[in-house]
Amino acid sequence: MFDSGFGGLDILKNIIKELPQYNYVYLGDTARMPYGTRSQELIYNFTEQAIDFLFKNNCQLIILACNTASSQALRRIQQEYLPKNYPQKRVLGVIIPATETAIQKTINHRIGVIATQSSVDSKAFEKELKKLNSKVRVFQKSCPLLVPIIEAGEQNSKATQLILENYLKPLIKKQIDTLILGCTHYGYLKNKIRKIVGKQINIISQGKIVAKKLKDYLFRHPEIERKLGQDSKVSFLTTDLTDNFKILGAKYFGQNIKLKKVSLE
The pLDDT tens digits along the chain (265 residues) read 999 888 889 899 999 999 999 999 999 998 998 888 899 999 999 999 999 999 999 999 999 999 999 999 999 999 999 999 999 999 999 999 999 999 999 999 999 999 999 999 999 999 999 999 999 999 999 999 998 898 888 888 999 999 999 999 999 999 999 999 999 889 889 999 999 999 999 999 999 999 999 999 999 999 999 999 999 999 999 999 887 777 878 888 888 889 999 999 7
| Catalytic status, residue 59 | no
CATH code given to domain 95-207: 3.40.50.1860
- Reference 264, options 24, 14, 35; nearest CA is 35
| Catalytic status, residue 143 | no
Sheet harboring 137-142: ordered strands across?
Answer: 137-142, 110-115, 178-181, 202-204
Q: What's this model's pTM, rounded to 2 decimal places?
A: 0.90
pLDDT tens digits, one per residue of 46-87: 999 999 999 999 999 999 999 999 999 999 999 999 999 999
Give residue 27's pLDDT: 96
Q: How far apart are CA 178 and CA 191, in angstroms?
A: 15
Sort 263 into a burial class: Cβ within 10 Å, 0-12 / 13-18 / 19+.
Answer: exposed
Q: Give the torsion sign (CA, 144, 150, 155, 158).
A: negative
CATH code given to domain 2-93+209-261: 3.40.50.1860
CA separation, residue 151 to residues 188, 236, 251 (Å): 11, 17, 12
Parse the chain into domains and list their residue ranges: 2-93+209-261, 95-207
Q: How far apart are CA 102 and CA 146, in angstroms?
A: 22
Task: Collapse the DSSP code of 265 into the 3-class scheme (helix H, G, I; strand E, B; otherwise coil) and give the result.
Answer: coil
Matching fold, domains 2-93+209-261 and 95-207:
yes
- Among the options 43, 63, 66, 179, which is catalytic? 66
Give residue 99's pLDDT: 97
- Among the options 50, 102, 183, 210, which is catalytic? 183
